[in-house]
């Protein structure tokens, strides 16, 4: 018995499989659940050691996965499908759906007077050419009876998109509600002043973000895929139950996080 106890005490810790994971945004409240899962030891329990990197959006995250330089990612399933259609020899794969209701929306401020889709006719709108929100705007416009030809567009990098509205260069923006919300609040905009018109509200019922896996890891280490999904799901469950704990875990990853601007809003 003594010999057995000594052997257990001296045995090396179980090796952890290192993983590269691409988020679809900077470190903010929308991805806090992954850090809570890590803090709670869910990945370690699966023998995994993920490293999370921020990105400039779903387009970048999907490209990272498709190229095989990252093992997992988070991104819009619609952007993923477009990438796979254009790159059939290097597909990325959705393995777990996070958003069953797409957060694609038109974001604006209360002072704009935009309260319904028809108010967008003739307005100045901002977006990113690579963003799923812009790519799907024609479908939204058709369902919402918006005169798409009357829109005056301005485009910019996804990471600088909110600046267009903050400076008054446009009347509204396209994007995920969470990304726009967090960026606006960081700039001092009161939550009550931020308004969203959701694509889903006019009948564009599509999925949103998913956990994605590279073809390489799916073929080479399916156990890691199952483990990463299971651990992530636990993190999301815990985050829904305790958002404050999720934001605290996020702040450990980025000390510049402001808890007051990273918590979920009543807008979605």
**At 178, which CATH number?**
3.40.190.10
Confidence of residue 130 (pLDDT cuts 50, 70, 90): confident
- pLDDT (0 to 100) of residue 61: 92
Question: Per-residue pLDDT for 212 more than 70?
Answer: yes
Give how many domains the chain has, as a whole number.
Answer: 2
Confidence of residue 211 (pLDDT cuts 50, 70, 90): very high
pTM summary value: 0.81
**Is 235 part of any domain?**
yes
Question: Per-residue pLDDT for 17 more than 70?
Answer: yes
**Is 268 part of any domain?**
no
Averaged pLDDT of the chain: 88
Are 194 and 182 members of one domain? yes
Question: Per-residue pLDDT for 97 more than 90?
Answer: yes
Give dist(CA 115, CA 153) in Å, integer.
19
Question: Per-residue pLDDT for 216 more than 60?
Answer: yes
DSSP string covering the chain: -HHHHHHHHHSPPPPPEEEEEE-SSSSSGGGHHHHHHHHTTHHHHTTEEEEEE--SSHHHHHHHHHHTS-SEEEEEHHHHHHHHHH-TTS-EEEEEES-SS--EEEEEEGGG---SGGGGTT-EEEE-TTSHHHHTHHHHHHHHT--GGG-EEEE--GGGHHHHHHTTS-SEEEEEHHHHHHHHHHTT--GGGEEEEEGGGGT-----EEEEEEHHHHHH-HHHHHHHHHHHHHHHHHHHH-HHHHHHHHHHH-TT--HHHHSPPTT-
- The domain of 137 spans 104-202
- pLDDT (0 to 100) of residue 257: 65
Are 192 and 229 members of one domain? no
The arithmetic mean of pLDDT across residues 230-252, rounded, is 96
Task: Say which range, 91-95, 137-141, 167-171, 181-185, has the weakest mean pLDDT.
Answer: 181-185
Confidence of residue 131 (pLDDT cuts 50, 70, 90): confident
Are 111 and 190 members of one domain? yes
**Is 250 part of any domain?**
yes
Tens digit of each residue's pLDDT (9 = 90 or more) over 38-61: 999 999 999 999 999 998 788 889
Are 140 and 71 members of one domain? no
- pLDDT (0 to 100) of residue 125: 96
Are 80 and 144 members of one domain? no
Are 130 and 250 members of one domain? no
Are 216 and 91 members of one domain? yes
Q: Domain boundary at 187, 202, 217, which? A: 202
Tens digit of each residue's pLDDT (9 = 90 or more) over 55-86: 878 888 999 999 999 999 999 998 899 999 99
Confidence of residue 256 (pLDDT cuts 50, 70, 90): low
Confidence of residue 6 (pLDDT cuts 50, 70, 90): very low
Are 186 and 226 members of one domain? no
**Is 254 part of any domain?**
yes
């Amino acid at each position: 018995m003594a010999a057995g106890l000594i052997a257990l005490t001296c045995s090396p810790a179980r090796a952890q499989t290192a993983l590269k994971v691409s988020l679809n945004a900077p470190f903010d409240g929308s991805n806090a659940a992954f850090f809570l899962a890590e803090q709670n030891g869910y990945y370690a329990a699966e023998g995994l050691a993920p490293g999370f990197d921020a990105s400039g959006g779903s387009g970048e995250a999907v490209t990272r996965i498709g190229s095989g330089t990252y093992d997992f990612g988070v991104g819009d399933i619609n952007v993923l499908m477009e990438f796979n259609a254009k790159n059939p020899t290097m597909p990325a794969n959705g393995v777990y759906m996070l958003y069953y209701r797409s957060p694609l929306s038109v974001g604006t401020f209360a002072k704009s007077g935009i309260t319904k889709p028809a108010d967008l006719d003739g307005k100045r709108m901002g977006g990113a050419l690579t963003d799923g929100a812009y790519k799907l705007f024609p479908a939204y416009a058709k369902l919402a009876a918006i005169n798409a030809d009357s829109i005056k567009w301005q485009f910019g990098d996804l990471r600088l998109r909110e600046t267009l509205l903050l400076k008054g260069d446009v009347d509204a923006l396209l994007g995920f509600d969470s990304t726009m919300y967090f960026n606006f609040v960081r700039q001092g905009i009161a939550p009550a002043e931020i308004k969203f018109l959701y694509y889903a509200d006019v009948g564009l019922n599509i999925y949103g973000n998913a956990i994605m896996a590279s073809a390489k890891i799916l073929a080479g280490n399916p156990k890691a895929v199952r483990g990463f999904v299971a651990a992530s799901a636990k993190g999301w469950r815990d985050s829904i139950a305790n958002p404050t704990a999720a934001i605290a875990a996020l702040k450990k990853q980025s000390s510049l996080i402001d808890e007051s601007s990273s918590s979920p809003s009543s807008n979605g």
